[in-house]
Amino acid sequence: MVAAGKGILAADESTGTITKRFGALRIESTADARRDYRELLFRTKDAMEQYISGVILYDETIRQTAKDGTPLVKLIEAAGAIPGIKVDAGAKPLANFLGETITEGLDGLRERLSDYHGLGARFAKWRAVIQIGGGVPTDFAVEANARALARYAGLCQEAGIVPIVEPEVLMDGAHDLARCYDVTEFVLKTVFMELYKARVFLEGMILKPNMIVPGKACAAKASPEEVAQATIRVLRNCAPAAVPGVAFLSGGQSDVEATANLDAISRLGGPWALTFSYGRALQDAAQKAWAGQPENMRAAQAAFAHRARMNSLAAQGRWSEGEERTAA
């Protein structure tokens, strides 16, 4: 999952989320359309075989078959990648804590994990969402989400499934880089304390954190080098070396921005394998090129392969703006 030069494709958008993204491109969101789009990604041979180590799926997708009847899981496996599954039920409002959320989905998780393992999933993902704003996050919200992440991770390992632990501090807001650092440090320390209490085997998990970036509305932007220095510093302070890999989420970054920041982080390095687990930052260009039209499949696959290759280079600290322009 954290092989050198490879990363994880997050194709786990809920039906509601992918419907919104399709809607922006005037694509009708049917089960067949969602299947066709994901199938074209999984059949992009160069990208899947060379640059993708695993694919996070949604409940609908892990049960779907390609047009020729091949299970989508088998397409992923045939490319040498590992199928995974999103198992949380989404972030819901946290009672009595305005503006904060708790990720739900623990009820029945043991049984769902057994079902997903039978369908071919060998890793899973659970996302906790932490907002920065006036008076938030509160200690209670962070601790509640960290505890849920730890319980999820323990159940995954019991089921023979590798957990991706994803505590995401959102980019929404006007906070600066220093505020993102402070909140992320608190979140990561709390998460690892709960993982320790839950007896989670650190060598058998992947961390999927946010990068340390300013809020979208912050006037003071940060260079890739500043992002990298802050991100590696927080990881060295919070993430034990026993964790085998860190697969960064892209959050609200543009595709090239996420690639540039990953490259700067990878150049600094650390005791963990560093890579990417991107959704929009890998898919946006491909989705726009496809636009729901079968005749656009090749163009969409080329766009996906390009972004996958750029992020592969970035995960090795070998990306450059010149490489981006030359390969485009």
For 1-31, give one letter per residue: b (16+ CB within 10 A) or e.
bbeebbbbbbbbbeeeebbebbeeeebebee
- Per residue in 21-72, pLDDT (tens digit) is 999 999 999 999 999 999 999 999 999 999 999 999 999 999 999 999 999 9
Stretch 304-310: mean pLDDT: 97
pLDDT band for position 328 (50/70/90)?
low
Is the pTM higher than 0.95?
yes
Domain segments of the chain as ranges: 87-327
Distances from the Cα of 322 to the Cαs of 102, 285, 310, 319, 325, in angstroms? 42, 19, 11, 8, 5
Mean pLDDT of the chain: 97
pLDDT band for position 193 (50/70/90)?
very high
Q: Looking at residue 324, what is its pLDDT?
A: 85
Report the CATH number of the 87-327 domain: 3.20.20.70
Residues with catalytic function: 166, 208
